[in-house]
Structure 1
Amino acid sequence: MKIYLIILSLLLCEVIANFENECSNKVLTLINTGKIGYKCSDQLKILCQRHDILFTLWDASSKLIRTGLTAASNYDLGNFDLCMTIDTRINDTKILGKFCPNQWSTLIDEKKLEDFIALLEFSPHSALSTEDGIRKTNKETTSDDSKNITLLGSVCIPDSCSAEEFNAIFRPYLYPVTPVDKVDCVTKYTRRDFTVSDWIIAFALGLVVLIILCCTVVDIFYYYKKEDKINELIVGCSAFSNGRKLFSVNTDKINQIQCMNGLRFLSILWIIAYHTFLTVNFKPLMNQKDFFNWQKQLYSQYILSGYIAVDTFFFLSGFLLTYGYLKQVENKSILQQISGIPSMYLYRYLRLTPALGAMYLVSISFLRLIGNGPLWFHYYDVNQIPCTQNWWRFFLYIQNYYSGEMCYVQTWYLSADMQMFVFSPLVLILIAKYLKKEKKYLIWILICLVLIFVLITVIVPYSSNDFVDNYDTHSRVRKRIKINKVMNIILWIVSLAAMTFVLYCNYYVTEYNHTKLDYTLYSGLYRPIWCTCIFWIVFSCYYGYGGFVNWFLSNSLFQIGGKLSYCMYVLHAMILLISFGSVRSNSYFGDYEMIIVLLGYVNITIILSIFWTLLFEAPMLMLNKKIAGFIGSNRTR
């Protein structure tokens, strides 16, 4: 650490000495040649006299020599908050600190860096004062086995200047740096204004909150007066009544499959954990090599296989859809079932969209005011530009087949789920018609459907060199076959072994020299294998053969978590975006540290999901029931 303190001190002295006598002349010369704008030149003239401000600008910028260059991420974010403290007015000229992340890059040979450090150890002043130090090592011949370190740096500059204009006067780096594709610079006031669309969205969401609040007050008043004569719409929109339902526990084991609550809640936790660890890629790490090594370890699959949990949701959604549909249309003719399809679609759309739409509105408006940091608006725009440009694909649930960027990538699942729901009547009506009479033929038809979609998933990617689609719908269309409960123990062993195989087979196909056939076979088969195992868990738990697994998954706390799972899925990516978009400095990666971070994300997601459920999801459930009752639909979950 001592050597870095010496470097820092000498660099400071060198920077100040370089411009102290020549600064004003340089500024005037460049103004006359037209290389610097008028407003920028006014600020630079002041900086020539105010070394304290200039020092703060430099101090907030990235440094070439910093701790852990060979192990950390290759970009440095400087000190964003220090830059934002610059806000002063001198002689009618206002100066704000403007932070420009990742503005320059340089390539340093690791061997030359070692030579430079050794030179500093013996004669630090000589190494820096003549610009021979690290530049001198650059003239040496690079060996074939040398390693280069690519560095990206950020700068803090006056708000009226560009990075090029500022560097034309003040060049604080003795080692040569080159400009790179720039991330937009920001000040403390960047995009902090409240636009007309923000006011409209605020009014709309505020109106919803006001309605819920009024209904809640009325509901509480009647509840404590012990009067039952209250409008059903008021009760349905009341956070008090909906909150009681949310936190209530249903012990009905006949009409409900209790273990599904545990599967649903544990799956959403697994998905959040998977996405939390993925966000490490967006953060600068002091031990980035450790993260890369962790990804290559077999044991890391406990997190990196979290994407499989989405297929658990697909299974649960399809299972409950079929179960609910068959109960409702038991005595209905095919014509009656067909006539109820439009209202069935309407119910489903109104069931999913309010909570999702509220998240969308918050994301394109207030979210930019919540986060802050050197890369905040960069990450914000990467996510929000597809939302504003492709909003109609987002609300029509078709963006998973669109080749461009998606609005909140995790919502591809909702698109795929909605698409399967749209086509589900083709199979559901067939099942309802032949379930009682032709079970044998029906089972064979469903088996053929499964095989068809498996073959599509294997053949299409294998026959095409450039086919990549991680968000398709067709590879996730599955149906299940009833299994004899007599083979309980054997099937439990087989199911657990198959699930373990699915989790860790991914390690083989990603880390070893697998063939294209290996990858396509795994991609086509792991989903039906996984869903078949999930089916066995549900089937055995429902019929009393689950033992400890059924006891655990049917825990009453999971009922509450299961009710929150949809809003948790919708909201968790926005919470993660606020976190990694607001990053300011290097962090440390480790299992323990990431679990602590994960627990924080989960708790915040649960708390926000409770409010989201009471405001946008629960009231819509009641309204949906009213609509379904009015038009007589075959409503399903």
Structure 2
Amino acid sequence: MIFYLKLFFLCSIVLSVGSVKNVNLQLNNGLRSLQDEEIISVIVDKKNETKNNLTFVDSSMNNYTIEKNYNKFKTSSFNNEQINDHYEKFDNFVNQESDQFFNVVPIFNPAAGKVSKICRKQSNIYHRELKKMTLWALKMFDATGKIPSGLLNGNVNQFGDFDECLGLQGTHGIRGKYCLAYLQLEIIDQSRDDLKYIHRLAHSHYAFRSNLTDPGHRVPRFGSIQFALCVPSACTTTDVETSLRATIDKFVSSTSLNVSVKVDQEMCQVQRYNKYPPETLIVGLFFIGMVILTIIAGICDHNNANISEILLAFSIKRNFKKLVSMKRIDGDIPTLHGVRAINAFMLIIAHKSMALFFNPYVNRTGMSEYLGQSWTVIGRAASLYTDPFIMLSGLLTSYSFVGSLKKNNSINIKKEYLSRLFRLLPTLAGLILFCTFIMPNVGSGPQWNLVVTHHADICKKTWWRSFLFIHNYYGFENMCLTHTHHLGIDTQLFAFSPLMVIALYNWPKLGTFVLIIIAIFSTALRYFITYYKHLNNYVYFGTSIRQLFDTANLSYILPSHRLTVYIIGIFIGFTLRKLPIDYKINKTVVKLGWILTTLMTLTAFVAPAGMGSINYVYDPTHAATYNAFAPIGWCALFAWVVFLSQTGNTHGWFSRFLSWKGFLISTRLSYAIYLTQFPVFFYNVGKTRSAEYFDFFKMMFDFHEFSWIIGTSVILTLLFDTPFQNIKNHLFKKRETTKID
């Protein structure tokens, strides 16, 4: 038992990053317990006993306070944080009390190791003033992370006090610098099963495995410990990393633990006093101008003013009516709106679950155990919920192109490409502008630079890739707004869709054979790359960050690996156009189809639940089978119900539910919801300042957060999406009228 107490205390000291000179750690002789008198003497020195401000509790449990000289201790007496005005009067008491206190609570020394001269100088001033109990130095000490309770329940990430650190100003121009350091704890002696168990609990059963070299801006470094340090502003990132490593090395040099340290430059912050950069002001004025334009256009539209249709395209009145309209357009496929809404909601839940792993929790181990239950498959299959969108894209593209071929015997490819640019590019550009130049300046927090500013910096360099829709070829970690990879995939598949549809229309048998071969090849490609590269599209316990990025880069974001469901959509759209509206299918075939597609969809959804278990061991065969066939299985039921409903072969509750008119609004917002959800999630992650208690339903279904997603989506739709679609319709209509004349 004594051994485990020693081991636990050692782990706690490592996490506290305390200074050796203030702690006497002797494992060989046992841990010396503090006597009650020693603890009391730290708080109230016997030489300075006073009854000026004491609280007494009598036997009747009545609690009252006697304050004889209250006026002597007004807050105004401590307004000067630069010096301790009372030190000269009570220097002996202060020195003795500070020595006793800091023998119990260790101090992190920013001057430990080979640091710069200016850092050492300011650190010495900090220690001198801390000994005097000067307020700014006490705040610097207070803002640094401390040993927490609940280490074995995963409460290892300590964010300190972000605002207290950045707000302090000391003598000699010293200001607070907040650094969020990363610690990687590894066990050297692999025979130590006792250490392994403690390590597993502290690291929350390894929900994700990560290294300090892994990118942390898109997927959290879950396996690393985050610890806040408040240091003098002159200390560079290198100084902080050097002093932290020197401090920890003294503790672990003779143990079975190895601790790696990393302090990223972007994770060290000082108070920002500068004004907004010029580009932020310019982009801000642009958005204000867009808002004014929609209002002016709306006023003109309301008063029936004789102005250009281009200006009226921005009318907020007209566009809001379109947004909430329940009127279906000609050729609409009603069930598609429900399919899109269901998968959009599931995708939000899956993305939200990933965002939650960035935050610290006092019960992070309990959180991992809770999420290790089979039913949490709903949040582990994020990749699955994007496949129906690809299928629907192929379906609508084929449905439109075949209709054009039947009517005009040709496809106006130039018009189709321009139409797609009008549909996607303005809204995407608006989001990139906001996330790159506005969002980094509207908040702050311990991880703000990691999940907000870092993304903005990437976008400043690589925005052009997104505008050309080729950003998915440059690596998941190097992508501007990584969640927009789907736009690149979909646009590239759309670029080749005319060839697929024309081949299928003009040479049905040959076109069908070629497309089936391509679909089989794409499925086989997913299987073999997953198997031989040890990838996994399903997030299991122990998934490494490197494995997730490799899965994305080598399979998930490549159009060649997503062709199968797109071709399924091409076939459905083609068939719906070729068959008569009242085409009847044998009832036995209908029933068999329902049974088969339902089983396929449930299998794709439920079968991998065992892979989410805490004790699951990775099997490349499981991963390859899932990546190859789950997209087909998940899309099967949706494809079947769309086909039956559109041909009039079903009027059941499921098809009626998917055809509900309310889903028309979600369809009009779906693109903007897809774009805005991650910026909202990361905004909340970035401004999180302390650990919370993880409550699944409270945090997963945060209606305040959902309201922000819906609200920002409405704004983005009204400012960019709908207006530019109106402009597109006007220009194309005008061109067709000119050709007729």
Q: What is the TM-score of this pair, normalised by structure 2?
A: 0.69
Q: Distance in 2 between matches of 1:542 and 1:569?
A: 27
Change (3 A) 1:68 1:455: same
Residue 384 (structure 2) aligns with: 308
Equivalent position to 1:96, from 172, 175, 191: 175
Change (3 A) 1:287 1:40: closer
| SS of match in other structure, 1:567 | helix
* Structure 1 unmatched runs, 5+: 110-141
Equivalent position to 2:230, from 132, 156, 163: 156
Residue 135 (structure 2) aligns with: 52
After TM superposition, give the deviation of residue 107 of structure 1 in Å: 8.5
Change (3 A) 1:400 1:167: closer
Q: Which moved more, 1:621-630 or 1:611-620?
A: 621-630
- What letter matches 1:182 in structure 2? V
- Is 1:581 the equivalent of 2:686? yes
Provide, for residues 349-384 of structure 1, a one-character-per-residue CA deviation record: whole Å limited to 9, x for no partner: 221011111111111111112221112112224423
| SS of match in other structure, 2:357 | helix
- Is 1:457 the equivalent of 2:526? yes
Change (3 A) 1:549 1:360: same
- Is 1:61 the equivalent of 2:61? no
After TM superposition, give the deviation of residue 594 of structure 1 in Å: 2.6
Equivalent position to 1:409, from 482, 487, 494: 482
* Structure 2 unmatched runs, 5+: 1-32, 45-95, 104-108, 203-224, 253-258, 536-549, 576-583
Equivalent position to 2:559, from 457, 463, 473: 473
Residue 471 (structure 2) aligns with: 399
After TM superposition, give the deviation of residue 623 of structure 1 in Å: 1.4
- What letter matches 1:533 in structure 2? L
Equivalent pairs, count: 574
| SS of match in other structure, 2:556 | coil
Q: Which moved more, 1:451-460 or 1:506-515?
A: 506-515
Residue 126 (structure 1) aligns with: none
| SS of match in other structure, 1:67 | coil
| SS of match in other structure, 2:662 | helix
Q: Distance in 2 between matches of 1:426 and 1:15?
A: 82
Aligned sequence identity (%)? 22
Q: Within 5 Å, which residues of 2 pair with 1:144-543?
A: 145-147=194-196, 148-149=198-199, 152-161=226-235, 164=239, 176=251, 180-184=261-265, 186-187=268-269, 189-190=271-272, 193-222=275-304, 231-250=308-327, 255-334=331-410, 337=411, 340-403=412-475, 405-434=478-507, 439-462=508-531, 468-477=554-563, 478-479=567-568, 480=571, 484=585, 486=587, 487-508=589-610, 512-513=616-617, 515-543=619-647
Change (3 A) 1:417 1:11: farther
- Is 1:76 the equivalent of 2:158? yes
- Is 1:558 the equivalent of 2:663? yes
Contact 2:320–2:718 (CA under 8 A) maintained in structure 1? yes
After TM superposition, give the deviation of residue 216 of structure 1 in Å: 1.5
Q: Distance in 2 between matches of 1:355 and 1:315?
A: 22
After TM superposition, give the deviation of residue 497 of structure 1 in Å: 1.9
Provide, for residues 54-88 of structure 1, a one-character-per-residue CA deviation record: whole Å limited to 9, x for no partner: 22222221112x21010124321112133234246
After TM superposition, give the deviation of residue 398 of structure 1 in Å: 1.5
Q: Which moved more, 1:545-554 or 1:604-613?
A: 545-554
Q: Distance in 2 between matches of 1:366 and 1:381?
A: 10
After TM superposition, give the deviation of residue 286 of structure 1 in Å: 1.6
Change (3 A) 1:246 1:392: same
Change (3 A) 1:191 1:34: closer
- What letter matches 2:357 in structure 1? N
Q: Distance in 2 between matches of 1:485 and 1:231?
A: 54
- What letter matches 1:521 in structure 2? T
- What letter matches 2:710 in structure 1? I
Q: Which moved more, 1:503-512 or 1:552-561?
A: 503-512
Q: Distance in 2 between matches of 1:387 and 1:473?
A: 22
Contact 2:500–2:511 (CA under 8 A) maintained in structure 1? no
Change (3 A) 1:34 1:237: closer
Q: Distance in 1 between matches of 2:706 and 2:533?
A: 40
- Is 1:618 the equivalent of 2:722? yes
Contact 2:169–2:176 (CA under 8 A) maintained in structure 1? yes
Q: Which structure is richer in relative contact order (CA contacts within 8 A, separation 6 or more)?
A: 1
Q: What is the TM-score of this pair, normalised by structure 1?
A: 0.79
| SS of match in other structure, 1:331 | helix
Contact 1:61–1:156 (CA under 8 A) maintained in structure 2? yes
After TM superposition, give the deviation of residue 266 of structure 1 in Å: 2.0
Change (3 A) 1:40 1:219: farther
| SS of match in other structure, 2:228 | strand
Change (3 A) 1:370 1:536: same
Change (3 A) 1:361 1:12: farther
| SS of match in other structure, 1:363 | helix
Q: Distance in 2 between matches of 1:442 and 1:308?
A: 28
Residue 135 (structure 1) aligns with: none
Contact 1:15–1:172 (CA under 8 A) maintained in structure 2? no
Root-mean-square deviation (Å): 4.0
Q: Distance in 1 between matches of 2:398 and 2:168?
A: 62
Q: Distance in 1 between matches of 2:251 and 2:521?
A: 60
Provide, for residues 85-127 of structure 1, a one-character-per-residue CA deviation record: whole Å limited to 9, x for no partner: 4246x6xx44433222226678899xxxxxxxxxxxxxxxxxx
Residue 73 (structure 2) aligns with: none
Q: Distance in 2 between matches of 1:401 and 1:271?
A: 22
Residue 591 (structure 1) aligns with: 696
